[in-house]
Structure 1
Amino acid sequence: LVRHYTQNIDGLDEEIGLSVNSQEDPGAAECVLLHGSLQFRCSNCPTIFRRDKNETGTPLFPEPPCPACAKVSSDRKADGKRASAIGRLRPNIVLYDELDPRAESISAVVRHDRSLRLDVLLIIGTSLATRGIQLLIKGFAKVVHKR
């Protein structure tokens, strides 16, 4: 298995021990989360906050302030500078027609995987309803068919 690409956001891939894509080293991941996850991300800074496995509720309305941005803003005020913007936390999910902040790193992984000599492309559990996943699968299928 070269890599597992998933549209699921439930976090089960990570729970069973697969390393997932990250901003730091996307190519090292065993699993690429195409639509994000149920973690939280800040609308202002690149910080991702992991959810507690035992957490039952999601404080979405109103969206809570980002603790990382709040600390930066507080530190600036303490230094006599003006406060900086504080982002809001939202689910780290890519919605339809929304730009993915990780698009470049995911594209780099896809390009790398397409350059490999792939023997099999296994597609499970998708309706192929979105154009992005259709293009992704067609690109990988071409690589396999050339072999």
Structure 2
Amino acid sequence: MELVDSEDSPWVVALAPVAGVRQLAMRFDGAMAYSEQRYAALPVLVGWETAGGSQWVLGLRPTWLRLPREQSLSLPAENAFALGGSLGYAFRVGPRVRLMPEVAAMLPVGPLPGATELRREGARPHVQFGLAFMLDGGGDE
């Protein structure tokens, strides 16, 4: 959802809501434990166009994280708030379509209301790699 876009400027500001599930495999005491992490984010993206109509995209990424419940450690699952950023390059693949590989890094900064104390294990940085399809109203016809 574009917030700012001008034909006279190479800059674009947009919101890009995202939600997902990440499968985790962890090794505890020689045994593998599988769990999942859920997340939702509302990145504010700032992009600037290059010569071919593609864009570099930098994002501020406030994120909700549902940290996994590790069975072997009997720790409760937590709802946490994380802050971070993302960097991507949106390749123009059509007049109104861009394909953007990106990397995002975020750090949980605290539990959300109603959660118990944030676990130390949850305070590690989280890195995500993604591939986004971007639809826009600009471009060459």
Normalised by the length of structure 1, the TM-score is 0.23
| Higher percent of residues as helix | 1
Normalised by the length of structure 2, the TM-score is 0.23
Q: Which has the higher contact order (CA 8 A, sep 6+)?
A: 1
